[in-house]
Amino acid sequence: MTIRAIRGAITLDRDERDHLHARTTELVEAIMRENALTTDQLVSVLFTCTPDIVSDFPAAAARELGLGAVPLMCAQEMAVPGALPRVVRVMMHVDVDRAREDIVHIYLHGAVALRRDLAQ
C-alpha cells in the first residue's frame, strides 16, 4: 500500500451554502477524475477554508457525493493579510500505486494563482 497526498483548491464567487457545495463538488470530482480514483482508495480528506467562508462545511458537500464513510475534516486557514479570499483547499490522502510525480493536483478558478506550477 502506498499513501499519496493530493492537493487542490478552488475559489468561491460568494459565501453561500449552495455555491460552496457546487464548487466543493467540482473540486472533489475533478481530483477523483484526473487521478482515476475510486471512493475505496480514499484514506482521508482534509478541507480548509479561508476565514471569510462561514456558510457551511465543505465536508457536508463531500458527504453528499457519497464520501460519508471516508474520514473528513474541516479547518480554517490562517488569516494572512492580502491572501486570496474565499478559497477552499483540500488534501486527499489516497491509497494508490503511483509515483509521486504522477499525481495530478487540481487548482480551479481563481485558485490557479496559488500554484501555477501545478494547475492544469
Residue 102 CB contacts under 8 Å (≥ 6 apart), including other chains: none
What's the grid cell of residue 94? 489516497
Q: What is the DSSP letter of 28?
A: H
State the catalytic residues. 7, 63, 74, 77, 89, 107, 115
Whole-number Cα distances in Å, 74 to 91, 96, 118: 10, 23, 23
In Å, the largest CA–CA distance within the chain is 40
